[in-house]
Amino acid sequence: MKNTLNLRTQIRQEIRDKRRSLSSSFQQQAAKSLVTQIAPLMTKDKPQSVALYLSNDGELSTQELIAYCWQQQTKVYLPVIHPFSKGHLLFLAYTPDTQMTANKYGIAEPALDVSQVYPAHAIDMIFTPLVAFDNTGARLGMGGGFYDRTLAQLEKSNAHTQVIGLAHDCQCVEQIPTEAWDMPLEQIITPTSHYRF
């Protein structure tokens, strides 16, 4: 257990350092390439709603993808830390006019408005952030467990939501030591590849 925890912490630190060291011009190009990778999927599946997130800590930028979704008339939702259910997420509508606020991690999220909440199981595609992944679809997050809990609930509800991880290519590692609560992903998209597990 201790060894697994140490390994996960070590991988998390190494990959976070790696992605934070990417230049802003590299990040801009990666964000454009991401849209090129995802556009065919969006054209084929025609999602009415997608959940995305605002990039932070060197994560692959989602700004171009959000703009693309708006252009396609696809509704965009962002995660908001649940105010009462510890460790869980809510998804709120996000438009260019949405009033934003900083959460406890300093990440911008829509200001809580009950009328803008949308149930996760009704979203067509949920794009999740991640710190590292391997070629089995194992996902290592930031350690808060927010997405693992959300995806576990989604699985219980038998939703037909596609869940897709987004990452830079450099975030792929040989093997992630997993824990019982980790929710593996069936798809991960990087600026150059679309992995299906």
CB 167 within 8 A of CB 188: yes
142 is annotated as contributing to ligand binding: yes
**What value, to the nearest 5°, has the Cα angle with vertex 54 and ends 74 and 133?**
100
140 is annotated as contributing to ligand binding: yes
26 is annotated as contributing to ligand binding: no
Residue with tokens 């808060």: 144
CA distances from 193 to 7, 17, 35, 188 (A): 26, 22, 12, 8
Helices in the chain by DSSP H: which ranges? 2-20, 24-45, 63-71, 146-156
139 is annotated as contributing to ligand binding: yes
54 is annotated as contributing to ligand binding: yes
58 is annotated as contributing to ligand binding: no
Q: Are strands 194-196 and 187-189 parallel, antiparallel or unpaired?
A: antiparallel
141 is annotated as contributing to ligand binding: yes
59 is annotated as contributing to ligand binding: yes
133 is annotated as contributing to ligand binding: no
87 is annotated as contributing to ligand binding: no
CB 182 within 8 A of CB 138: yes
145 is annotated as contributing to ligand binding: yes
Binding positions for ATP: 139-147
Binding positions: 54, 59, 139-147
Binding positions for substrate: 54, 59
